[in-house]
Amino acid sequence: MKTLQRTFTIVKPDAVRKNAVGDIIEQFEKNGFRILAMKMLEISKYQAEQFYAVHAARPFFNTLTDFMSSGPIVVLALEKENAIADLRKLMGATNPAQAEEGTIRKKWATNIEHNAIHGSDAEDTSRFELSFFFAGYELAK
Ligand code: CMP
């Protein structure tokens, strides 16, 4: 029996500024992800701080949250078997200098901070991240 899993992703402000949204969404679909929900929005510095609260003690927290509130982002709820791990594989390493050929970050990321895309890293974080951006009715599919 197939067990579908959900994950959450953000096309970050750098990728939106590069007009990479269409290409990245095409890669989700070509790699078997179903788009459950999607929206383009801007978040405030405070909202970015809440979303990335697990990184609050990190030295990059301030620049990360400045960057994530610097322009439009596109947030998506995706579904497939093994979605969390498969999305992370498709994204490539956090630092694009280490990202494999054929990954989204290899193609679109500029550096470790401006790295084009975010994806949930585990089931508990995906639940938190999906519910941060989507209401229950938007995911009731
Ligand atoms: P993301 O998957 O959105 O999760 C946290 C983000 O913090 C990460 O992608 C990077 O954009 C950023 N990040 C992680 N490590 C570093 C680092 N060493 N320096 C700057 N930014 C980082």
Q: Distance, CA 43 to ligand 1 centroid (Å)?
A: 17
Please give the distance, rounded to the nearest whole angstrom, from the Cα atom of residue 114 to the centre of ligand 1.
8
Cβ atoms within 10 Å, residue 39? 12
Structural domains in the chain, CATH included, are 5-135 (3.30.70.141)
Gap between the terminal Cα atoms of the chain: 19
Ligand 1 atom closest to residue 52's alpha carbon, by position in its atom list: 5
Which ligand 1 atom is the nearest neighbour of the CA of 67?
Answer: 11
Lining residues, ligand 1, CB within 6 Å: 55, 60, 64, 94, 112-113, 115, 118
User: What string of pLDDT tens digits covers the 141 residues of the chain?
Assistant: 679 999 999 999 999 999 999 999 999 999 999 999 999 999 999 999 999 999 999 999 999 999 999 999 999 999 999 999 999 999 999 999 999 999 999 999 999 999 999 999 999 999 999 999 999 999 998
